[in-house]
Structure 1
Amino acid sequence: MSNLHNRNDKIYIAGHNGMVGSAIWRTLLAKGYTNLIGASSSTLDLRNQVAVKEYLLQEQPDIIIDAAAKVGGILANNDYPYQFIMENMQIQNNLIDSAMQTGIEKFIFLGSSCIYPKLAPQPLKEEFLLTGDLEQTNEWYAIAKITGVKACQAIRKQFGKDYVSLMPTNLYGTYDNFDLNTSHVLPAMIRKFHIAKENNHESVTLWGTGTPMREFLFVDDMAAAVVFALENKLPDYLYNVGTGVDLTIKELAEIIQKITGHQGEIIWDTTKPDGTPRKLMDVTKMHNLGWKHQVDLEEGVRKTYNWFLENVNKIKELKM
C-alpha cells in the first residue's frame, strides 16, 4: 500500500479540540503535515448546514477527518436521546454532504463500536452491522453513527470516492473528559480514585457488577490508525480499530486503583446498569493491512493519569 498524500495536503479536522481530534492533529504534525485546519464550535456550528458548506467552499480542504460528535456515557445518552440522535446526524450529514458537493475526494468518518448489535457474537466483525437490536442505553447515538457509515458507503458505491469509516473501540487518553456526569468509564474511574485517595483513601463506589468485558484503546493509537487510513486507500468501507484484547470492568478498576495509588475499598453498586455484557472488536482487517496498536493498557492509563495530574486545576468541572 503506497502513500497517496503529500505533506502539503490541506486537511480539515472537524472536532480538532476534542480528545480524538487533538490527538490526530498532534500525530499529523509529528509526521510532517503542515497544512492543518480546524474551527472551534464558537467559530463554526457544525449543526448549521449553510455554515458548514460555506466554510468548506472558503477553505477548500483536500481531505476531511470527521472526529466531531456529541458524546457521553450511559447517563447522558439515556437522558438526552433526542440531542444524541439529531445533533450527531446534523454534524455528520452536513460534513459528508458538503464534502460530496464541494468535490472532496477523501473523507475519514469516525464512529463507535456501539453501532454493532448488543448481542452480536464476539469479537465484533464489521459484517455484523445491522444484524440485530442495539444496546438500548445508547441506541440514539449508535443509529446516528450507522447513518454516517452508510452515507459514506453510498458515496463510495455511487461516486467511487475514497470515503472510509473507522469504528474505534472505547477510547481514552490525554484531553479526555473527566466530568463525572458525562464521562466514560475509564476517565470517570481515574477521577473517582484520585479524589478518594486525596480524601484519606475513602471507599469508591462504582456502577454495576464489574463483570462486563471492555476493550480500551489509547487515543494516540486511534490517531495513528486515522493517519494510516489517510495515507493509504483502504479497500473496504468499514474498519474496526481496537486492540483486540479486553478485560472486565473490575480488572480495569484494579489497574486504575493501583496507578492512582488509592488504597481504600471498592464498592460495586449492583442496582446500577452494566450496559452491554461484552464489546470486543475483531481488528483482523486492520491488522491484515498493516496497522496495529502500540500502547498497552497500563502504559496508557499511566500516561492519562499523569496528564490528569498536570491539568487537574485547568480541567473544566474539576474543582476538587
Structure 2
Amino acid sequence: MTQKTSSKILITGGAGMIGSNLAKRLIKEGHQVKIVDNLWRGKLDYLHEDNKPIIDFDKDFYNRDLSISGSCDDLLDDIEIVYHLADIVAGIDYVFSNQGSLFRQNNLINSNVITSVRHSGKKVKGFIYVGTACSFPLTRQNSLEVIPLREEELYPAHPESAYGWSKLMGQYETELLEKETGIPCSVLMLHNVYGSPCDFGERSQVIPALIRKAINFPNEDFIVWGSGEQGRAFIHVNDVVNALCLTKDKGLGKGIIQIGPSICTSIKEIAETVVQISGKQIDIVFDTSKPEGDKARSADYSKAQSILGWEPLVNLRSGLEQQFNWIEKRIESEGSHT
C-alpha cells in the first residue's frame, strides 16, 4: 500500500461543525493542520477529542476576522492545501432578516481569502472552496416535484437568498483563481449538512432547532416554520468530511461537484422522526406565517461518484439519533451548571 504523504493544511472556519470534524480526520491521517476562525458560531470546545485539544491553540489556531483585507496573508507561508469553509450562515430567520450584511460579509470573506491565496506565489498547491446548493436557481427549487439537481443547471443564476448569491460569487472567484494562476481548485456544493458538534440556539438551522424544541418540550413549544411540506437533501457531516478528504486527492482541478443525497426529505418527516426519537407525546404545530425557503431539492451526485468515488453512507435516522443524543447531553450539562 502506498504511504500517503503529510500535507500542511489551513482550514478557514475550522472551529465549526464541518471544520472541526475535518480537522480531526486530517490530523488522524497525519497532516499538519492550522485553523482560522473568528468563533462567531464555531467554538474552541469543538476542537477537542477525549477532553484534549487536537491542535496547539497557541501555535496553530488563529482568531481572525477574514472580512478584513490581508487577514490571512501571513498564514499561507508554508501551506499546501487550503480548505475555505468560513462564511456567515445561520437558520432561515437569520438569513432572511440579514440579507444585506450577510451578502457583504461573505463577499468580503471569500474575496480576501482567495486574494491571499493569489498572493501566495503558487506556494498553495490546492484550494478547496465549500459552496452550497442554495446557489442553484430558485426555478429549480420552487416545486415539490423534485428532480435531482445537476451541476450544469447552475446558470442562468437565480438563487433565492443573498446567502446563495454570496456563495455563488465566491464560487465564481474560485474559478477565476484557478484560470488565472493555475492553482488547482475544487468547488464542493454542499446540500443541508447536519450532525455534531452544532449550534442549537436561536441562530441554529432546522434540525438542531427541532431537536432542541423536542428536548425542552413542554417548556418550549414544538413549532415548525412553514408548512412542513418543504424538503431538503440532508447529508451527515461524516459524509461531507469524506467528500472533503477525497477532493484533496481526486477532485482538484475537476470543477464543481455536488455533495448530497438524491433523496429529498420533508421538514414534516424530520419533525416526526425527532418526535419519535424523543419518546414524548408532542403535537407538531406548523406556523405557515414563517418563511420556509426553497420548496424542495435533492442532488444528482453522479459526478461525485465518478470523480471522487463518493456516495452518502450515513442513514438519516441513525444520524438524527446521534445528533439528538449530543444535543441532549449538552442541554443537560448546561442545566447542571445553572
Flag structure 1 segments of 5+ consecutive residues without an equivalent. Answer: none
Q: Are residues 1:123 and 2:148 paired?
A: yes
**C-alpha contact 2:234 2:260 (8 A) present in aligned 1:** yes
Q: Are residues 1:73 and 2:91 paired?
A: yes
Following TM superposition, by how much is the alpha carbon of 1:318 offset from its aligned partner in structure 2, in angstroms? 12
Following TM superposition, by how much is the alpha carbon of 1:24 offset from its aligned partner in structure 2, in angstroms? 0.7
Moved more, 74-83 or 9-18: 74-83
Q: Show the counterpart of 2:52.
A: none
Q: Are residues 1:254 and 2:272 paired?
A: yes
Alpha-carbon distance in 2 for matches of 1:50, 1:131 = 32
Kindly provide the amino acid, as one letter, of the partner of residue 313 in structure 2. Answer: Q
Moved more, 166-175 or 233-242: 233-242
RMSD over aligned CA atoms reads 2.4
CA offsets, 1:198-251, max 9 Å, x none? x4xx86221111111211011111011000001224452101001221111111
Q: Show the counterpart of 2:57.
A: none
**C-alpha contact 1:96 1:151 (8 A) present in aligned 2:** yes
Q: Show the counterpart of 1:297.
A: 316
- TM-score (normalised: structure 2): 0.84
- Total equivalences in the alignment: 307
**C-alpha contact 2:21 2:238 (8 A) present in aligned 1:** yes
**C-alpha contact 1:119 1:132 (8 A) present in aligned 2:** no
Alpha-carbon distance in 2 for matches of 1:227, 1:105 = 15
Residue 34 (structure 1) aligned to one of 31, 35, 56: 31
After superposition, residues 68-147 of structure 1 pair within 5 angstroms as 68-102=86-120, 103=122, 104-120=124-140, 122-135=147-160, 139-147=161-169
**C-alpha contact 1:213 1:246 (8 A) present in aligned 2:** yes
Residue 295 (structure 2) aligned to one of 277, 283, 288: 277
Task: Assess, with a 3 A threshold, how the Cα gap between structure 1 residues 213 and 23 changes in structure 2: closer, same or farther.
Answer: same
Q: Show the counterpart of 1:21.
A: 19
CA offsets, 1:5-50, max 9 Å, x none? 94421000111110110111122123x2231111342722211112
Q: Show the counterpart of 2:64.
A: 44
Kindly provide the amino acid, as one letter, of the partner of residue 16 in structure 1. Answer: G
Q: Are residues 1:154 and 2:176 paired?
A: yes
Q: Show the counterpart of 2:233.
A: 215
**C-alpha contact 1:162 1:233 (8 A) present in aligned 2:** no
**C-alpha contact 2:130 2:190 (8 A) present in aligned 1:** yes
Alpha-carbon distance in 1 for matches of 2:228, 2:260 = 21
Alpha-carbon distance in 1 for matches of 2:269, 2:127 = 37
Alpha-carbon distance in 1 for matches of 2:192, 2:181 = 32
* Matched residue SS, 1:232: helix
**C-alpha contact 1:256 1:301 (8 A) present in aligned 2:** yes
Q: Show the counterpart of 1:238.
A: 256
CA offsets, 1:263-289, max 9 Å, x none? 121111122222211111221100122
* Identical counterparts, % of pairs: 28
Alpha-carbon distance in 2 for matches of 1:318, 1:216 = 32
Kindly provide the amino acid, as one letter, of the partner of residue 127 in structure 1. Answer: E
Task: Assess, with a 3 A threshold, how the Cα gap between structure 1 residues 130 and 40 changes in structure 2: closer, same or farther.
Answer: same
* Matched residue SS, 1:239: strand
CA offsets, 1:45-73, max 9 Å, x none? 2111122212323xx21110011111112
Q: Show the counterpart of 2:188.
A: 166
Kindly provide the amino acid, as one letter, of the partner of residue 295 in structure 1. Answer: V
* Matched residue SS, 1:38: strand
**C-alpha contact 1:179 1:318 (8 A) present in aligned 2:** no
Following TM superposition, by how much is the alpha carbon of 1:111 offset from its aligned partner in structure 2, in angstroms? 1.1
Task: Assess, with a 3 A threshold, how the Cα gap between structure 1 residues 247 and 309 changes in structure 2: closer, same or farther.
Answer: same
After the TM superposition, list the runs of 4 or more consecutive aligned residues in structure 1 that deviate by more than 6 angstroms.
317-320
- TM-score (normalised: structure 1): 0.89
Moved more, 304-313 or 68-77: 304-313
Kindly provide the amino acid, as one letter, of the partner of residue 46 in structure 1. Answer: L
